[in-house]
Structure 1
Amino acid sequence: MNPSTLNSKEFEQHFCGTLSDYVTAIAWSPQNTILVAASAAGEVTLWENDELTTLQTGNDASVDCVAFSHDGQFLAVGGQDGRVKIWQNRELIATLENAPAWIDKLAWNPISNQLAFSLGRYVQVWDADTREIIVTLNFESSSPLGIDWRRDGQYLAICGHQGVKVWNSQDWNEEPHILNIPSVSIATGWSADGKYLASGNMDHTITVVETQLLTSSDDPQPWVMRGFPGKIRQLTWSDIINQNGSPLLACSSVDGIVVWEKSPDESVGWEATVLTNHVDVINAIAFAPNSFLLASAGTDGWICLWKQAKQVAQILTGASEGFSCLAWHPQGKLLAAGSKDGELLIWSKATRGQGFGRK
Structure 2
Amino acid sequence: MLGLKSSSRQIWQKNWSGSLSDYVTAIGWSPQGDMLAACSAAGEVLVLRELSDRSLLDLPSQDSLNSLAFSADGRYLAAGGQGKTLFVWQFPGSEELPASLVFSLPSKHWVEHVAWHPQLNWLAFNVGRYVQVWDTTSQRVITTLPFEASSALCFDWSPDGKFLAVGGYQGAKVWNCLDWDDDPYLVELPSASVALSWSPDSRYLASGNMDRTITVIEWQDGQPSAQPWVMRGFPGKIRYLAWSSLLPNASKPILASTSVEGIVIWERSLNPLVGWDGRVLENHTQAVEAIAFQPQAIHLASAGADGLVNIWQKAKHLTQTLTGANQGFSCLGWHPKGQSLAAGGKQGELLIWSQTQAGKGFSKV
TM-score (norm 1): 0.95
Instruction: Quote how far apart the aligned CAs of 1:315 are.
Output: 0.3
Q: Which residue of 316, 332, 345 maps to 1:310?
A: 316
C-alpha distance in structure 1 between counterparts of 2:37 and 2:358, whole Å = 29
Aligned to 2:90: 88
The alpha-carbon deviation at position 216 of structure 1 amounts to 5.3
Could you list the per-position Cα deviations for residues 86-138 of structure 1 after superposition, in whole angstroms to 9, with x for gaps in the alignment? 11112103424344220011100001010010011000000012111111000
Cα offsets for 1:10-49 (capped at 9, x unmatched): 1100111010000001100001321110000100110122
Q: CA RMSD in A?
A: 2.1
How high is the sequence identity, in percent, across the aligned residues? 49
The partner residue of 1:154 within 162, 167, 170 is 162
Supply the distance in 1 between the matched residues of 2:45 and 2:361 (Cα, whole angstroms): 26
1:186 is the counterpart of 2:188: no
Of 95-104 and 146-155, more deviation after overlay is shown by: 95-104
C-alpha contact (below 8 Å) 2:86/2:105 kept by paired residues? yes
Unaligned runs of 5+ in 1: none
2:146 to 126, 138, 159: 138
Structure 2 Cα separation of the partners of residues 353 and 7 of structure 1: 23
Counterpart pick for 2:289 among 283, 306, 312: 283
Q: What letter corresponds to residue 148 of structure 2 in structure 1?
A: E
Q: 1:190 corresponds to which letter in structure 2? A: W
Q: What code does the residue aligned with 2:32 have?
A: Q
1:232 aligns with 2:238: yes
Structure 1 counterpart of 2:111, from 79, 86, 103 = 103
Aligned twin of 2:26: 25
Give the deviation of 1:352 after TM superposition: 7.8
Mean CA deviation greater in 346-355 or 297-306: 346-355
Ranked by relative contact order (alpha carbons within 8 Å, sequence separation 6 or more), the top structure is 2
**Deviation (angstroms), 1:336:** 0.5
Q: Secondary structure at the match of 1:211?
A: strand
Quote the residue 2:95 is aligned against.
Answer: none
Deviation larger for 29-38 or 115-124: 29-38
Equivalent AA in structure 1 for residue 18 of structure 2: G
Distance of 1:34 and 1:170 partners within structure 2: 31
Cα deviation code 1:253-287 (max 9, x no counterpart) = 00000000001111111000111100000000000
Query: Distance between the aligned counterparts of 2:46 and 2:288, measured in 1?
Result: 24
After the TM superposition, which residues 25-104 of structure 1 pair with which residues of structure 2 at under 5 Å, given as runs?
25-51=26-52, 52-57=54-59, 59-89=61-91, 90-104=98-112
SS of 2:245's equivalent in the other structure is strand
Give how far 1:146 is off: 1.0
Q: Measure, in 1, the Cα distance between the counterparts of 2:354 and 2:60.
A: 29
Q: Structure 2 CA distance, aligned partners of 1:14 and 1:354?
A: 13
Amino acid at match of 1:132: R
Deviation at 1:144, TM superposition (A): 1.1
Are residues 264 and 347 of structure 1, via their aligned partners in 2, closer, same or farther at CA, if it must alter by over 3 Å?
same
TM-score (norm 2): 0.93
Cα–Cα, structure 1 residues 248 and 141, in superposed 2: closer, same or farther, change >3 Å?
Answer: same
Q: Over residues 133-166 of structure 1, what are the superposed CA-to-partner deviations in whole Å (9 max), with x where a residue is unaligned?
A: 1110001111111111011111001111111110
Alignment partner, residue 168 of structure 1: 176
Cα displacement string for residues 169-198 of structure 1 (whole angstroms, at most 9, x for unaligned residues) = 101000001111111111000000010000
1:13 corresponding residue in structure 2? 14
How many residues of Structure 1 are paired with residues of Structure 2 in the alignment?
A: 357
**1:224 Cα deviation (Å)?**
0.1
Mapped to 2, the partners of 1:279 and 1:238 lie a distance apart of 24
Q: Secondary structure at the match of 2:263?
A: strand
SS in 1 for 2:83: coil
- Describe the SS at the equivalent of 1:104: coil
